[in-house]
Structure 1
């Protein structure tokens, strides 16, 4: 009998491995659906506008400078003229804006686009001769300088209006191009010749309408950058290096304010903010959906094997303690019902809200398993009692999914509780005697 008990345990272990392979297949399906979603989001961004990063406005100065080049063979140095470019930050920049969010759908996949209406105002003062000493000023031909206002926009297709820049009361039109001053896409407006031998002051105003996908980032290039945004979107995610100084989030939307000093940011990095996420010297708002069904499904599946092991452990205890034979095929069918829950969850959550999909999938599997166990054990109350335990596991798992920060703690407590219950339930069992004394179910019925 000891051999039979050991063989049964080996068969159960083999069934667990088989079901784990099935869970891996479902997990692979989750990954594939997630990749499809990302492809659809990229396609929508390609046809509308991608994530947006604003850099500036900035002041670009171009001026000729005489440079002496040392010559060889004892010849006198040669002098030639090069074009110098210098980028200057504004002294102060204020950005006020409102953002509306709309959902675009292709097939069953959705993504969010935002439309930002922004008002940019800035001031700047340049000292005479740019603060250069006499020798440097003689080399630089500052009276021939030309000035430009630059604005970096990571996806120029998102500019919804034809923005007109107001500088000291003058109206200037923008052209595309960064004039070699930025590495990301940009637009520029030419201020024309400016004599830098005397001090200059600039006051800028710019209305801007901007379309983008999911994320709006602003690089705080000014010496003092103040940003105020408001939106009816109730699920903002504030990212980047600079978080809001004040924010208010409610069911009717959010408002947030940032204030960033030049002492807190790296000017060189802000100029490269639109290149990649690694250059994140920005303040950001993400308008992504609050629930990522694929991430939640993937996290839920990590506990799939625990559901199966705990259920099989309960069946094995019933089988050994109550002398009730349970066929390996019955173990397998219950395990398949537990595994199919995750496939149902994935399929339904793509169509309806995740919470509703979870409730429907869990209820369907619990009712199926309860009915089957009641018939299998010949005791409906015991069958639905075991199903109630499985329902409790589903409830605990949902709590784990909702509380991402406490997921490790709650998962650890669940494992510890399950192990505790198993050890307490089997602490008086003499496994050697149990294996030797266990009768075969078919023989007992035949003797009757």
Structure 2
């Protein structure tokens, strides 16, 4: 004969409270394999970054361009006083020191035609481009009067033209500049400054006294790069203009200046963008003496990257894993409470593992197809599996059809949130509010005291 104590014990484990506790603990337990899935996504994403870095290194890295700059040497004298030990007289010594003035153009116009393509290696892809760039503009007569440098100390015949840039190994043709009707060839210059991440191209000696004869001296040159990720320029002209056009339909304008909204055009065939930057828009002058500063903070340009890659989408999908598991278990629990059908904790476990399997299917199929197609296949497989399993659990077709419809709505809701960027939080909040309202309505007549 059962004792009252045994009756109470049995009734507790069969109560809704005990079932809720067990289902809740199982939900938390399933977070462990979900974390393993997230770790797998992170591992594959890291591998993709390594492959992209390797592809970009061989094809060409990002481009940073800073030039052309007139580099004019001048002589200054360092005077020191010393005492002659024999005569005890003070002797003045003058030591000549060569320094450099860096002169920026009065006007700089740049045109860049960028053709992008996607390179694939195994399951990974990287966006690369070929950029044909044309630069033209003019210099005005240099003025050293504000620095009190005598004219005779300026070495006009030893001037050079300098370009600071990156990605020298991916320049496809010889670079020559036409300055005042004279052509000069750039050569690479080795830099001893280990902190300088840029590389230099510099011409041989130029006699500026014979070239800068007029108040306005024109220049022009072309340069062709293979590159990836980004193109950035420093607006060193007193007036700097850049026109860039490309077949890339998802540009990300970056840096210190944005293109003109009125002339900017972006569609599925590519983009056209124009910048116009005046010297009053940036906080540096047209001349520098002694040292050439790092002006990368004033650079502007375009990023050529895939906006949201497949692993980012998989990672965002996995972040909603706890929500999917919790809501699916909640649906089964409500069906169990309403229909009085008993669902064993083992059956909950099988359903939970099927939900976890969705993410491994998603990432594996995505690597061989598009994210949308992979999501559709993975969701369809898991919904079918759980629905068929529900037929044997719930003893009929009515509730399994409800399960299938609920999972379809849930996975559709998650997919919409993943695709949205600006409205993801808004849509997600409204959707969760609707789900909560549906659960409250469905559970209003359940007697939770049993």
> TM-score if structure 1 supplies the norm length?
0.88
Q: Which residue of the other structure, out of 169, 177, 196, is the alignment partner of 1:157? A: 169
Other-structure match for 1:58: 69
Q: How many Å apart are 1:179 and its aligned residue?
A: 7.0
Describe the shift of the 1:242–1:48 C-alpha distance in structure 2 as closer, same or farther (beyond 3 A): same
Aligned residue in 1 for 2:14: 4
Alignment of 1:57-206 (within 5 A): 57-71=68-82, 75-128=90-143, 130-132=144-146, 136-138=148-150, 141-143=153-155, 146-177=158-189, 183=196, 184-195=198-209, 201-206=216-221
- Asked whether 1:272 is paired with 2:286, we answer no
Who is 1:49 aligned against? 60
Residue deviations 1:185-226 (CA, integer Å, cap 9, x gap): 120113523349997643211011111112111121211111
Superposed displacement of residue 180, structure 1 = 7.8
In structure 1, the residue matched to 2:255 is: 240
Structure 1 residue 214 and structure 2 residue 229: aligned?
Answer: yes
Q: Secondary structure at the match of 2:30?
A: helix
Q: State yes or no: 1:392 paired with 2:409.
A: yes
Unaligned runs of 5+ in 2: 1-10
Mapped contact 1:371–1:384 kept (Cα < 8 A): no
How far apart, in 2, do the equivalents of 1:71 and 1:140 lie?
27
Match of 1:329 among 327, 332, 346: 346
Cα deviations across residues 382-428 of structure 1 (Å, max 9, x unaligned)? 20221111111111111111111122222222332222222332234
- Would you say 1:228 and 2:243 are equivalent positions? yes
Structure 1: which 4+ aligned runs deviate by more than 6 Å?
178-182, 196-200
Q: Aligned-pair distance for 1:335?
A: 1.2
Query: Counterpart of 1:387 in 2: which secondary structure?
Result: helix
Q: Which runs of 5+ in 1 are unaligned?
A: 274-278, 435-448
Shift of 1:4: 3.1
- Mapped pair 1:421 → 2:438: yes
In structure 2, distance between residues paired with 1:260 and 1:425: 62
Q: CA, structure 1 residues 202+431, in 2 after alignment: closer, same or farther (shift >3 Å)?
A: same
- Per the alignment, do residues 178 and 27 of structure 1 end up closer, same or farther by CA in structure 2, a change over 3 Å counting? same
The answer as to whether partners of 1:377 and 1:383 remain within 8 angstroms in 2 is: yes
Could you tell which deviates more after superposition, 349-358 or 187-196? 187-196
Question: Structure 2 vs 1, CA of residues 107 and 113 (structure 1 numbering), >3 Å: closer, same or farther?
Answer: same
Say if 1:146 and 1:193, in contact at 8 Å, map to a contact too: yes
SS class of match (1:161): coil
Q: Deviations over 1:252-297 (max 9, x none)?
A: 2211111111222244999535xxxxx4422222222243111111
Q: Which residue of 2 aligns with 1:17?
A: 28
Larger mean Cα displacement after TM superposition, 199-208 or 24-33: 199-208
Q: Give TM-score, length-normalised by structure 2.
A: 0.88
Q: How many residues align?
A: 425
Offset of residue 143 of structure 1: 4.7
Separation of aligned partners in 2, 1:255 and 1:138: 47
CA distance in 2, matches of 1:74, 1:339: 92
User: How far apart are the structure 2 equivalents of 1:331 and 1:175?
Assistant: 71
Matched residue SS, 1:235: coil
Confirm or deny: 8 A CA contact 1:101 1:114 kept in the other structure.
yes
- Alignment counterpart, residue 254 of structure 1, candidates 252, 265, 271: 271
The Cα shift of 1:234 comes to 2.1
After superposition, the C-alpha distances for 1:82-132 in whole angstroms (9 at most, x for unaligned) are: 11112221111111121111222221111121101111102111344x233
Q: Secondary structure at the match of 2:77?
A: strand
Structure 2 CA distance for partners of 1:145 and 1:201, relative to 1, 3 Å: farther
